[in-house]
Amino acid sequence: MRARKSNLQLEAAIRIIGKRMPEPTISVDPPTESSAKPGGATPSHAWPVLSVWLRDLVISLAISAFIIVFLYQPVKVEGTSMMPSLDDQERIFVNKFVYRLEAIRRGDIVVFRYPRDPSKSFIKRVIGLAGDRIRIDAGEVFVNGEALEEDYVPRAYADQRPYSEIVVPPNSYFLLGDHRSMSNDSRDFGPVNESYIYGKAVFGYWPVDKVGRVR
């Protein structure tokens, strides 16, 4: 599954088409002496108001750009390997700063550069941490000898493929898709070095019925 960057801009998720509204009615005050004269100057109080409005607009745009560039990035999920947690074409926000403050944890859904082609981005769930012993037997995942409880993997999405036990290397993570029978993940390309992981999926914003925290 790939998560494609949106080049710092949210993609239009829906086109809103509405009827043209009637022109609003307004009342016009009689012209003052200064405004009635041809070529009268613009009232001096208009410029401070305009400058304040422009200042607030610039500040708002700067803050928005900072948040998108350095903190949150909107991405579009492509593919079905994270269903039912994330659907194909679903839009989510990825927190790019969180792992500077906290460690990557088992169960996190992360976005990372595909080890075999770093120009592509994948999104998977963290299953094993550095030093963990991971094996899969008849579709059931074992971490350090204990079966992992995975309520995010429906029975219909399970995969019966076995996977021989490995030890996750230092500074690396074992990543799997929730739709096990449809996922290209660490079973295929191995554990992923933490240097390839650049964000955590935190919030879905489209479609409307999927708005909320990503789990």
Report, as residue numbers or ranges, the catalytic residues.
81, 124
- Do 85 and 212 meet the contact criterion of CB atoms below 8 Å apart? no
What secondary structure letter does DSSP report for 56? H
- Do 202 and 91 meet the contact criterion of CB atoms below 8 Å apart? no
- Contacts (Cβ under 8 Å, ≥6 apart) of 15: none
Q: What share of the chain is helix, strand, coil (3-state, %, to 5)?
A: 25, 30, 45
CA dihedral 165, 104, 204, 8 (to 10 degrees): -120
Question: Helix, strand, or coil here: 73?
Answer: strand
Q: How far is CA 125 from CA 19, 40, 152, in A?
A: 45, 67, 10
- Contacts (Cβ under 8 Å, ≥6 apart) of 199: 73, 94, 95, 96, 98, 99, 110, 111
